[in-house]
Amino acid sequence: MERTGIDLWVGMFVVAGVAALVMLAMKVGNLGTYNVSDAYKIHAYFTNVGGLKATASIKSAGVLVGRVESITLDTQRYEAKVVMSIDKRYQFSRDTISKIQTSGLLGEQYVGLDAGGDAEMLKDGDQLKKTQSAMVLEDLIGKFLYSKAEEPAK
């Protein structure tokens, strides 16, 4: 009889451990907080997406409004085409600016949307025309060092 009680506690501990691992995997995979069932799709072209990944967050004013659905290379334009799924609760104007941003200094990259003032709203399948590509830290450091090397010695 005592053995059954121990088995029950061990079983509950194992189930709790598996549930914690699933929650951790969803958090690390950035999958836990957004449902794409009621969303519309838009796309934008970027010259450089940096480390942006499919399933990356799309935020406006720091609020999660969608997810990146896919990233492909457009062979006509030779730019990255980013397809985004936006929750239908959030409507953005046609002149919205999309930027690839980073959470903190070395954090994950996401797409930031800065709402415009146009009266006409984006619809399913529309393209965001105004984009700002990812800023690559190595490029910024290189520019800084190069500009310092060109300065005359004092």
100-104: average pLDDT? 87
The per-residue pLDDT for 106 is 73
Question: What pTM was computed for the model?
Answer: 0.69
Task: Compute the distance between CA of residue 68 and CA of residue 86 in angstroms, rounded to an integer.
Answer: 9
φ, ψ of residue 45 in degrees (nearest 5): -110, 135
113-132: average pLDDT? 91
Better pLDDT: 30 or 135: 135
Ranges 33-37, 44-48, 67-71, 114-118: which has the least confidence: 33-37
Is residue 30 helix, strand or coil? coil
**Sole residue written with tokens 């830290």:** 137
Q: pLDDT confidence of 6, banded at 50, 70, 90?
A: confident
The per-residue pLDDT for 70 is 95
pLDDT in tens, 54-101: 989 999 999 999 999 999 999 999 999 999 999 999 999 999 999 999
Angle at 84 between CA 34 and CA 55, to 5 degrees: 50
